[in-house]
Amino acid sequence: MKTKHTSSQPIGIFDSGIGGLTVAHALVTHLPKENIIYFGDTAHLPYGDKSTAAIQAYAIKIVNMLLQQECKLILIACHSASAAAYELVKEYIGSKALVMNVIDPVIHLLKEKYITKHVGLIGTRQTVNSHIYKKKIDDLNLGIRLSSSATNLLASAIEEFGNHRVIDVLLETYLAQPNLQNIDALLLACTHYPIIKERISQHYQKQNDGHIELIDSSDIVAQAVKKQLHKNNLLNENGTSAKHFYVSDYTESFANNAKLFFGEDIKLEHYPLWD
């Protein structure tokens, strides 16, 4: 039996840490009346160096929590978890909620705007080794050339230091890799990376004496969520925009970044799923 949803029900979002806040912020911008429930699995961050089986186990437990909160749509706001667990989560949830990931909206954008282009990709080892972007791009058969590179320490460094100049040392090493040269655009295939978007852009300006287009999934995904809610008559246009943030392990960096993203004090609730 299909579950009946209402527009006033919240959107559930989860990620391993602060990266998903980039998506949550974009959602609040594009969908200002929607109620948001965010779960940061800070006890297990980053997901990028975890096994597929581990990520799937985390995802199912988090999804159960979000279903208890009666979310109408659950967004996997993490490329690693989207690659490893989306199909499983979708099957597990069935009709209890709409389910979206952060990969398919980006593939749709590439299909529209990057035919025959050379696109670089940086992401976690889990995302890159899954080859999910390559498979989906190859299926398009539009002559898009993809060059992927695992930049595994970046997510952890961003969690620890935020948008700090210490990140530049990692970028100089990672972005100097031969397969990331002479590209038309760079896909930021980790929701942490938009936090350091300006530093990535500056690196390419210095190296190439020019501008490179950065593909930031946050706004792309937010627009896709809006479209999906509209399609299902679930857009909340009269809501109060209540925001609830849960973490599996309290960290100072998450609290500080949440405040920075939303320009207000954010109350974090410790939700110990694994205690």
Active site residues: 78, 190
β-bridge partners, 214: 186
CA 19 to chain CA centroid, nearest Å: 6
| C-beta atoms surrounding 94 within 10 Å | 11
SS3 category, 262: helix
E strands, 124-250, in order: 145-150, 185-189, 213-216, 243-247
Instruction: Provide φ and ψ at 12, rounded to 5°.
Output: -100, 135
DSSP classification of residue 273: T
Instruction: Provide φ and ψ at 168, rounded to 5°.
Output: -60, -35
SS3 category, 167: helix
Length of the chain: 275
Residue 16 is labelled as binding a ligand: yes
Residue 192 is labelled as binding a ligand: yes
Which residue ranges make up the annotated binding site? 15-16, 47-48, 191-192
Residue ranges for the known binding site for substrate are 15-16, 47-48, 191-192
